[in-house]
Structure 1
Amino acid sequence: MIYDNKSYRQNNKRIGQGVKVVNVVLKIVKYTLVVITAMLLIAVFYATGIISTVDLTPFERIVKNSEIYSTKIKFEEGALVNREEFDLFLKFTRSESYPSDFLNKLVSTGVLRVRAKDYEILKDFETEGLYRNDCKELYCFQNYQLFQNIPSDMWKGLIGIEDFRFLSHSGVDFRSILRAIIIDIKEMRMVQGGSTLTQQLVKNLYLTNEKKLSRKLKELIISLYLESKYEKDKILELYFNEVFWGSINGVRVKGVYAASVLYFGKRPAELTPYESAILVSMLKGPNYFHPIKHMERLKKRANVVYEVLKEKSMTPITINYKWNDVTWSNWSKNLEKENNKILYRSLWWTTTEESRFDEYERYVLKIKALEKLSSANYENLAFKAMIKDLQTSNIYSFYSKYERDKEKAIKEEKHQIGSTIKPIVYGIYRKLGLDWNEEVSTAPITVKLKSGDWEPKDSEKINEEFVTASEALVRSINRPLIRLAVKYGFDEIEKELSPKLPDMKKPLAEYPAQLLGAYEISMGSYMDLYENFIIDNCKDFENDSVLLVLSDPTKTTVRKAVGKNLREMRFFGKTGTTNSGYDNWYVAFDGRYLSLFWFGYEGARDGQMLKLYGSTTSFKVFNDYSRDKGKRFNELSCEIINNQ
Structure 2
Amino acid sequence: MSETENTSSEQQETQAPDKRRSCKIFLAKAAFTLGTLAVFYGGYLDWQIRSKMDGQIWRLPAEVYSRLESVKLSDNLSFDEVIQILLDNEYRQTTMIAAPGDFKLEDDTIVLLRRAFPYPDKPEPQRVLRLRFTDNKLSRIEDLVNVKAVDEFRLAPKLIAMLESDNEDRLAIPLQHYPRLLIDALLLTEDRRFYDHNGINPIGIMRAMIANIRAGQTVQGGSTLTQQLVKNLFLSSERSITRKVNEALMSLVLDWRYDKNRILETYLNEIYLGQNGDIQIHGFALASQFYFGRSIREISLDQIALLVGMVKGPSLYNPWRNPQYALDRRNVVLKLMLDHQMIGDELYEMLSKRPLGVQAKGQISRKYPAFIQTLQADLRRQLGENKTSALLGARIFSTMDLKQQEQAENAVVNTVNQLQVQTKNPYLEGAMIVADYHLGEIRAVVGGLQTEYAGFNRALMSKRQIGSLVKPSIYLTALMNPEQFRLNTPIQNQPITIYVKGSQPWQPRNYDR
TM-score by length of 1: 0.50
Deviations for 1:456-513, whole angstroms, at most 9, x for unmatched residues? xxxxxxxxxxxxx9xxxxxxxxxxxxx8252xx434xx6xxx7xxxx9954224xx35
Using the TM superposition, give the Cα deviation of residue 342 of structure 1 relative to its aligned residue in structure 2, in angstroms.
Answer: 8.6
Corresponding residue for residue 145 of structure 2: none
* Contact 2:226 2:263 (8 Å CA) reproduced: yes
Find the partner of 1:99 among 76, 88, 101.
101
The verdict on how the C-alpha distance between 1:328 and 1:363 changes in structure 2, with shifts beyond 3 A counting, is: closer
The verdict on how the C-alpha distance between 1:307 and 1:195 changes in structure 2, with shifts beyond 3 A counting, is: same
Corresponding residue for residue 329 of structure 2: 301
Corresponding residue for residue 367 of structure 2: 345
Pair 1:484-2:493 in alignment: yes
Corresponding residue for residue 355 of structure 2: 328
Find the partner of 1:205 among 218, 233, 242.
233
Amino acid at match of 2:251: S
Using the TM superposition, give the Cα deviation of residue 366 of structure 1 relative to its aligned residue in structure 2, in angstroms.
Answer: 5.4
The verdict on how the C-alpha distance between 1:160 and 1:307 changes in structure 2, with shifts beyond 3 A counting, is: same
**Cα distance in 2, alignment partners of residues 228 and 382 from structure 1:** 61
Amino acid at match of 2:497: F
Deviations for 1:167-215, whole angstroms, at most 9, x for unmatched residues? 221112234557889999xxxxx99963211222233333332334444
Using the TM superposition, give the Cα deviation of residue 396 of structure 1 relative to its aligned residue in structure 2, in angstroms.
Answer: 9.5
* Contact 2:45 2:253 (8 Å CA) reproduced: no
Higher Cα Rg, which structure:
1
The verdict on how the C-alpha distance between 1:294 and 1:10 changes in structure 2, with shifts beyond 3 A counting, is: closer
**Cα distance in 2, alignment partners of residues 357 and 241 from structure 1:** 21
Pair 1:22-2:20 in alignment: yes
**Cα distance in 2, alignment partners of residues 349 and 396 from structure 1:** 12
Partner SS, residue 204 of structure 1: helix
* Contact 1:91 1:265 (8 Å CA) reproduced: no
Pair 1:39-2:66 in alignment: no
**Cα distance in 2, alignment partners of residues 356 and 267 from structure 1:** 16
**Cα distance in 1, alignment partners of residues 408 and 24 from structure 2:** 82
Corresponding residue for residue 418 of structure 1: 466
Find the partner of 1:12 among 5, 10, 13.
10
* Contact 2:46 2:253 (8 Å CA) reproduced: no
**Cα distance in 2, alignment partners of residues 250 and 126 from structure 1:** 38
Partner SS, residue 101 of structure 1: strand
**Cα distance in 1, alignment partners of residues 27 and 174 from structure 2:** 53
Corresponding residue for residue 590 of structure 1: none
Using the TM superposition, give the Cα deviation of residue 159 of structure 1 relative to its aligned residue in structure 2, in angstroms.
Answer: 1.9
Partner SS, residue 172 of structure 1: coil
The verdict on how the C-alpha distance between 1:309 and 1:517 changes in structure 2, with shifts beyond 3 A counting, is: farther
Corresponding residue for residue 222 of structure 1: 250
Amino acid at match of 1:99: G
* Contact 1:244 1:255 (8 Å CA) reproduced: yes
**Cα distance in 2, alignment partners of residues 506 and 300 from structure 1:** 76
**Cα distance in 2, alignment partners of residues 287 and 150 from structure 1:** 24
Alignment of 1:1-400 (within 5 A): 5-6=3-4, 8-22=6-20, 24-57=22-55, 73-75=69-71, 77=75, 87=87, 89-90=89-90, 98-101=100-103, 105=111, 109=131, 125-130=152-157, 137=165, 142-176=170-204, 194-246=222-274, 253-264=281-292, 266-315=294-343, 317=344, 319-323=346-350, 327-328=354-355, 331=357, 335-336=359-360, 339=361, 341=363, 345-346=367-368, 359=398, 361=400, 363=402, 367=406
For structure 1, the 5+ residue unaligned runs are 115-119, 185-189, 439-468, 470-482, 519-644
Using the TM superposition, give the Cα deviation of residue 89 of structure 1 relative to its aligned residue in structure 2, in angstroms.
Answer: 4.1
The verdict on how the C-alpha distance between 1:293 and 1:417 changes in structure 2, with shifts beyond 3 A counting, is: same
Partner SS, residue 236 of structure 2: coil
Partner SS, residue 328 of structure 1: coil
Amino acid at match of 1:418: I
**Cα distance in 2, alignment partners of residues 394 and 53 from structure 1:** 43
Deviations for 1:314-359, whole angstroms, at most 9, x for unmatched residues? 33x2752543787427x36xx34xx584997349969998899974
Deviates further, 295-304 or 135-144: 135-144
**Cα distance in 2, alignment partners of residues 208 and 13 from structure 1:** 58
Deviations for 1:520-543, whole angstroms, at most 9, x for unmatched residues? xxxxxxxxxxxxxxxxxxxxxxxx
The verdict on how the C-alpha distance between 1:100 and 1:17 changes in structure 2, with shifts beyond 3 A counting, is: same
The verdict on how the C-alpha distance between 1:517 and 1:26 changes in structure 2, with shifts beyond 3 A counting, is: farther
**Cα distance in 1, alignment partners of residues 259 and 403 from structure 2:** 42
Amino acid at match of 1:194: G
Using the TM superposition, give the Cα deviation of residue 53 of structure 1 relative to its aligned residue in structure 2, in angstroms.
Answer: 4.1
Using the TM superposition, give the Cα deviation of residue 100 of structure 1 relative to its aligned residue in structure 2, in angstroms.
Answer: 2.3
**Cα distance in 2, alignment partners of residues 58 and 16 from structure 1:** 64
Query: In percent, how many aligned pairs have the same letter?
Result: 20
* Contact 2:433 2:444 (8 Å CA) reproduced: yes
**Cα distance in 1, alignment partners of residues 52 and 364 from structure 2:** 37
Using the TM superposition, give the Cα deviation of residue 246 of structure 1 relative to its aligned residue in structure 2, in angstroms.
Answer: 2.9
Amino acid at match of 2:23: V
Using the TM superposition, give the Cα deviation of residue 249 of structure 1 relative to its aligned residue in structure 2, in angstroms.
Answer: 11
* Contact 1:72 1:126 (8 Å CA) reproduced: no
Amino acid at match of 2:355: W
Using the TM superposition, give the Cα deviation of residue 161 of structure 1 relative to its aligned residue in structure 2, in angstroms.
Answer: 2.0
Amino acid at match of 1:101: F
Amino acid at match of 1:171: G
* Contact 1:139 1:250 (8 Å CA) reproduced: yes
Partner SS, residue 40 of structure 1: helix
Amino acid at match of 2:312: K
**Cα distance in 2, alignment partners of residues 85 and 237 from structure 1:** 34
* Contact 2:335 2:348 (8 Å CA) reproduced: no
The verdict on how the C-alpha distance between 1:125 and 1:357 changes in structure 2, with shifts beyond 3 A counting, is: farther
* Contact 2:205 2:222 (8 Å CA) reproduced: yes
Number of residue-to-residue matches in the alignment: 429
Partner SS, residue 69 of structure 2: strand
Deviations for 1:3-46, whole angstroms, at most 9, x for unmatched residues? 97435423432244325423542453244235424532453354
The verdict on how the C-alpha distance between 1:130 and 1:155 changes in structure 2, with shifts beyond 3 A counting, is: same
Amino acid at match of 1:98: P
* Contact 2:285 2:295 (8 Å CA) reproduced: yes
**Cα distance in 2, alignment partners of residues 219 and 101 from structure 1:** 48
* Contact 2:46 2:254 (8 Å CA) reproduced: no
Partner SS, residue 493 of structure 2: helix
Partner SS, residue 222 of structure 2: coil
Corresponding residue for residue 146 of structure 2: none
TM-score by length of 2: 0.61
Partner SS, residue 342 of structure 2: coil
Amino acid at match of 2:20: V
Partner SS, residue 54 of structure 1: helix
Partner SS, residue 98 of structure 1: coil
**Cα distance in 1, alignment partners of residues 41 and 317 from structure 2:** 40
RMSD: 5.9
